Amino acid sequence: QFSCVIRVAIFGGTHGNEMSGITLVNLWIKNGKEIQRKGVETKPFITNPRAVEKCTRYVDTDLNRAFTTENLSAPSGDDLPYEVKRAQQINEIFGPKGSPDAYDVIFDLHNTTSNMGCTLILESSKDHFNLQMMHYIKKAIAPDSCPVLLTEHPLLKYSTSRSVAKHPIGLEVGPQPQGVLRSNIFESMRVVLKHALDFIELFNEGLEFPPCSVDVFRVWDKMDYPRDTNGNIIAMVHPNLQDCDWEPLNPGDPMFQMFDGTTVRYEGVGTVYPTFINEAAYYEKQQAFVTTRRETLVAGAIKKA
Ligand SMILES: CC(=O)N[C@@H](CC(=O)O)C(=O)O
Ligand SMILES: [Zn+2]
């Protein structure tokens, strides 16, 4: 599965207003010492330079939704949206997606305005390499925590920049406003990446990682803000829910506060764990938060061939 040299890319600026990843990647492009590991080729890369320049999420369309087979196989031309052209270039450099030539690992660095702490995003419950890595990171940063969000879902999964790699990993750290750098958020992203690269080095040196289990939050549903018949938002995230990412939300618990002061309560079946609560970038996606359910995944042993 792994060739001799493990190829790793670190993406910053997939969204041009998420400053931690942009800043770290630019630092590492200047001086890569911190991210060098034995037997590992690590490439720091700014994925959406035009959005970074304008300090905006994207220019034409969301790059982190653009890596569909349809986009990647579209005949290239000047009329394509900027991010679709960029997705094709990224797929050429780091992919092709789904092929043996693709990069082994891509870390994609994001910030959120939600109070999610340092979240690892996993795209497949069957990715034992990533599960082992996440297990390693969780142990390394304890007693601090680092929740794993599993985005595997028949309808809600999206085509990310990192998905061109064999093992895609999203790193989502918040709360941090768009266009702003906060030292605590910046440092926690840096620390998680350090442990991740340490893991890859140990794996590359031939260390065997025994079977383990990893607690994850699996994406369950997306919740929109209450709206009037014209589609205008008529409520806010309820104060009891605001900033309570990863905490249980039970049927009957307050969810939204209408502008007229009344409370909208959660009416689902059973306990869910909301996250991406009040994420600024998701207003345009009609999403106030996502619900997740807790699950324990088992990772088989891994060892480099
Ligand atoms: C706030 C934000 O941009 N979150 C990312 C999550 C991810 O990378 O999977 C996104 O929507 O693309
Ligand atoms: Zn982002």
Q: What is the pLDDT of residues 209-258, one digit of tens each?
A: 999 999 999 999 999 999 999 999 999 999 999 999 999 999 999 999 99
Residue 64 labelled as part of a binding site: yes
Nearest CA to ligand 1 atom 11: 64
Mapping DSSP to helix (H, G, I), strand (E, B) and coil, where does residue 241 land?
Answer: coil
The number of the ligand 1 atom at minimal distance from the alpha carbon of 285 is 11
Nearest CA to ligand 1 atom 1: 112
| Ligand 2 centroid, distance to 52 Cα (angstroms) | 12
| Ligand 2 centroid, distance to 62 Cα (angstroms) | 9
Q: Any idea what the Cα angle at residue 294 is, between residues 292 and 297, rounded to 5°?
A: 120
List Cα–Cα distances, 71 to 25, 40, 172, 278, in angstroms.
26, 30, 25, 29
Asked if residues 275 and 119 have their Cβ atoms less than 8 Å apart, the reply is yes
| Ligand 1 centroid, distance to 39 Cα (angstroms) | 30
Q: How far apart are CA 128 and CA 7, in angstroms?
A: 18
Would you state the pLDDT for residue 78? Answer: 83
Q: How far apart are CA 277 and CA 73, in angstroms?
A: 34
Q: How far apart are CA 109 and CA 81, in angstroms?
A: 23
**Among 120, 110, 159, which Cα is nearest to 280's?**
110
Number of the ligand closest to the Cα of 13:
2
Six-digit token string for 85: 């052209």
Number of the ligand closest to the Cα of 65:
1
The number of the ligand 1 atom at minimal distance from the alpha carbon of 62 is 12
Instruction: Convert 89-118 to b/e letters by CB count within 10 Å (16 or more is b).
Output: ebbeebbebeeeebbbbbbbbbbbbbbbbb
Nearest CA to ligand 1 atom 10: 64
Cβ burial of 250 (10 Å; 0-12, 13-18, 19+) is exposed
Asked if residues 221 and 292 have their Cβ atoms less than 8 Å apart, the reply is no
Six-digit token string for 106: 């891509």
Q: What is the pTM of this model?
A: 0.97
Q: Give kind and range of the element (H or E) at residue 251.
A: none
pLDDT in tens, the chain (305 residues): 566 779 999 999 999 999 999 999 999 999 999 999 999 999 999 999 999 999 999 999 999 999 999 999 999 888 999 999 999 999 999 999 999 999 999 999 999 999 999 999 999 999 999 999 999 999 999 999 999 999 999 999 999 999 999 999 999 999 999 999 999 999 999 999 999 999 999 999 999 999 999 999 999 999 999 999 999 999 999 999 999 999 999 999 999 999 999 999 999 999 999 999 999 999 999 999 999 999 999 999 999 98
Q: Give kind and range of the element (H or E) at residue 289.
A: strand 289-299
Pocket of ligand 1 (CB under 6 A): 15, 64, 108, 110, 112, 121, 160, 170, 172, 279, 281
Q: Which residues crowd ion ligand 2, with CB under 5 Å?
A: 15, 18, 110
Return the C-alpha torsion angle 153, 159, 162, 164, nearest 10: 110
